[in-house]
Chains A and B, each alone.
Chain A
Amino acid sequence: MTENPDAETVITARDVAMGFGGRIIFKDVSFDVRRGEVFVILGGSGCGKSTLLKLLIGLMPPTRGEISVLDGDWTKLEGYARRRLLQRIGVMWQSGALLGSLTLAENVMLPVEAHTKLPEKARALIASAKLGLVGLGDAVGKLPAEISGGMLKRAGIARAMALDPEILFLDEPSAGLDPITSAGLDALILSLARETGTTFVVVTHELQSILAIGDRCIMLDKDAQGLIAEGDPKKLRDESDHPTVRAFFRREAM
């Protein structure tokens, strides 16, 4: 299922540009994300990966250009329509971003409580199932301060999955994790993508992770202020003749 040009498009970005106070971060960024694929946004530090993610999830409007997520444009959606769209996506933040005063189970129950009328018992069952799925079944009652960084990330994924979203956005899922935990996370992402048909948009610069899970990727570059490559990461590694792309995949200094 690596390249399937016929699949439905779930995210389209057209000529997107973003800048802060006269400084351009990227411009002329256009790409499509198709249903069911693992789409990786990669690039070096400071190229605007996380900014692009914030545009995709509607936290900020782009300076120019259009972004459509599941046929919705964040800048035009308000009220109920916006809530409906929010219900269909999930976001895992880089640090987990779990609320420190709530247990893991309560954290996972939060979006369920916000978007459905399910009773407490159902919410607790969903929280246990999601936390069990990411291997945290024995930590449902723990507070975020009591668990390790890797566990925080997995709990963040469990919370992002609470509403069975159609698109899951992951910000640096494997940053700061040991190789074994990181590989486990990659396996989890792959199995979810293959079995549930969930679309993944992953921001990362972990080379092994990109090659392990990525169906397609785009690469942003700070100097080019935009896209420098798009396609299957393995092909880019083997075939690209762009110097920055080659250096990135071969871990060379430039």
Chain B
Amino acid sequence: MASAGRVHGSPTMPAATFSAEAADGRLRLRFAGRLDAAAAAAQWQQVHAVARDAEHITLDVSDLTSLDSGGAALLVSAAGAEATWEEPRDPGARGVLARFRAGLAGPSSPEERPRSFRPLTRLGAATMRLGGHVQERLGFLGETVLVALAILPRPWRLRWAEMLRHLDEAGTRAFPLCILLGTLIGVILAFQSSVPMRQFGAEIFIPQLVGISLTRELGPLLAGVILAGRTGSAYAAELGTMRVNEEVDALRIMGLDPLAWLVVPRVIASTIVMPALAIVMNVTGLIGMAIVMASLGFPPVAVMNQLAEWLSLGDLAGGLGKAAVFGLIIGYIGCQAGLSAGRGPRAVGDAATSAVVGGIVALVVLDGIFAILFFRLGW
């Protein structure tokens, strides 16, 4: 063990000295003393500037007293492929240099060629990938529907405890947020519309405006956004982590269908919970609106009369039906994103992102479809 030659940062040892002698194209670089990473970093530019133009380099490192990997990197890169070495006499430094060379001598990976830019090829590949995604999602939807239908005649097969847990997490725990958002939206809508409506003396119609837009559109839509942000991402992260930990594969091997076990309870829960969230949004929104109306001088009874006259049960039912469909889709997209997550630490984050983005996009697209549908049906 006499060769423990490296003493880190010891102030008593002199830092490396470096000298160069050039004679008819032959360069002699001499290093002595302690060549560590700090010394190598300090001398890097200088050494390379001298060594660049030399035809043949002799590296005299026989008087090095200690060497580390940083120093070895300097020597090896300055030497290039064909240098003559005068090896260090110090056994520790000699060992460091030998190991550094041995590490570089083994098989190395081939240089990566930069890929050429072929726009058409890339467009084609992207299209194929998109097609693959769509196919995958449709396949997953079909499978989920089949599994859910298979459970329908045997309801005891559903994992009720699991579903109740999801109902609690997606529903009860989202109520405070829904109450806050609903009230604020009601207040904002009523207040913003009161300004132009006052010009026509039409403030009394604010309850209709807010009531109809909340029950038919905004209630379900905002509840959907909350569900996508809270629950869709949670489903994706939870299932994605399970997939990364190979728990999903384990379920499959135990003969349990991951769709029946993991997806169906979640999707059912998110479907059930959405109308409830939408109702909370509606009611608190109307309360917020009533507060603004009261401040404008309209008593609650006037607001109630307006609502009773103009709002129909159909408006509410249409909105709640829409909400249930939103819940189904958001839950399904969240689960799908989780179960198709890749491996590795970024996969879970990617899955959660795609669940939220996919959920909200699907929400808006579906809402548009519903708008056309309701219009055609005359609802």
Contacts and interface: CB of A to CB of B under 8 A. Distances in A.
Nearest to A158: B103
Contact of A88 (B8, B38, B42): B8
Contact of A126 (B6, B69, B107): B69
A1 interface: yes
Interface in A117-175: 117-119, 121-123, 125-126, 128-133, 135, 137-142, 144-145, 162-164, 166
A130 B103 contact: yes
A62 interface: no
Given A112-B70, A129-B69, A118 B344 contact: no
A208 to B, nearest CB: 25
Nearest to B343: A145
B4 A164 contact: no
B37 interface: yes
A129 B102 CA distance: 7
A197 interface: yes
Contacts of A144: 344
A197 B3 contact: yes
A133 B103 contact: yes
A84 interface: yes
Given A119-B44, A122-B41, A129 B3 contact: no
B96 interface: yes
B77 interface: yes
Contact of B4 (A35, A119, A139, A145): A35
Nearest to A37: B1
Nearest to B107: A138
A94 B321 CA distance: 52
A35 B2 CA distance: 11
Contact of A141 (B68, B70, B112): B112
Contacts of B345: 100
A7 interface: yes
B41 A129 contact: no
Nearest to A165: B8
A228 to B, nearest CB: 29
A139 B70 CA distance: 21
Given A36-B4, A141-B109, A145-B344, A118 B103 contact: no
Interface residues of B, number: 40
Contacts, number: 120
Interface in B33-74: 37-38, 40-42, 44, 68-70, 72-74
Contacts of A139: 109
- Most chain A CB inside 10 Å of its own CB: which residue of B69, B101, B102, B105: B69
Contacts of B105: 132
A131 B343 CA distance: 24
Q: How would you classify the secondary structure of chain B's contact residues: helix, strand, loop or mixed?
A: helix
Contacts of A112: 37, 70
A45 interface: no
Given A137-B106, A141-B112, A197-B92, A126 B99 contact: no
B6 A197 contact: yes
Given A112-B70, A164-B68, A195 B95 contact: yes
Contact of A131 (B4, B95, B103, B346): B103
B76 interface: yes
Contacts of B107: 137-138
A120 to B, nearest CB: 11
Nearest to B1: A36
A100 B346 contact: yes
Contacts of B343: 145
A181 interface: no
A63 interface: no
Given A101-B346, A132-B104, A164-B69, A118 B40 contact: yes
A76 B74 CA distance: 35
B102 A132 contact: yes
B155 interface: no
B199 interface: no
A97 to B, nearest CB: 11
23 contacts: A35-B4, A84-B9, A87-B8, A88-B8, A112-B37, A117-B42, A122-B40, A122-B44, A125-B77, A126-B69, A129-B73, A129-B76, A129-B100, A133-B103, A135-B106, A137-B106, A145-B343, A145-B344, A163-B37, A164-B68, A164-B96, A166-B6, A196-B92
Interface of B: 1, 3-6, 8-9, 37-38, 40-42, 44, 68-70, 72-74, 76-77, 92, 95-96, 99-109, 112, 343-346
What 9 pairs across the A-B complex have the smallest Cβ distances?
A: A197-B4, A132-B103, A129-B103, A133-B103, A137-B106, A117-B41, A116-B37, A122-B73, A125-B73
Interface of A: 1, 4, 7, 35-36, 84, 87-88, 100-101, 112, 115-119, 121-123, 125-126, 128-133, 135, 137-142, 144-145, 162-164, 166, 194-197
Given A100-B345, A116-B37, A129-B100, 20 more contacts: A4-B1, A36-B4, A112-B37, A116-B70, A117-B38, A118-B37, A118-B41, A118-B44, A122-B74, A123-B73, A126-B70, A129-B76, A132-B104, A132-B108, A133-B99, A137-B103, A137-B107, A145-B343, A162-B69, A197-B3
